[in-house]
Amino acid sequence: MADIIRIICAVLLPPLGVFLQVGLGLQFWLNILLTLFGYIPGIIHAIWIIARR
């Protein structure tokens, strides 16, 4: 159930989904960078991080 909430957050605001999964680590900052370059890469990265762990 928690993963579903994280995935919904990742679709709406990708860095939030990553933050809920890993905190303020490297993956969070990478996701912010990807989201700034394009919303879709940020979503893909966030869902990948959530599904991987």
Could you read off the pLDDT of 7-45 as tens digits, one per residue? 999 999 999 999 999 999 999 999 999 999 999 999 999
- Please give the pLDDT value at position 31: 97
The CA distance from 16 to 47, in Å, is: 11
Could you read off the pLDDT of 35-52 as tens digits, one per residue? 999 999 999 999 999 999
pLDDT at 3 over 90: no
pLDDT at 1 over 90: no
- Please give the pLDDT value at position 13: 95
DSSP assignment of 1-53, as one string? -HHHHHHHHHHH-HHHHHHHHH-SSHHHHHHHHHHHH-HHHHHHHHHHHHHH-
Residue 23's nearest CA partner among 52, 51, 41, 49 is 49
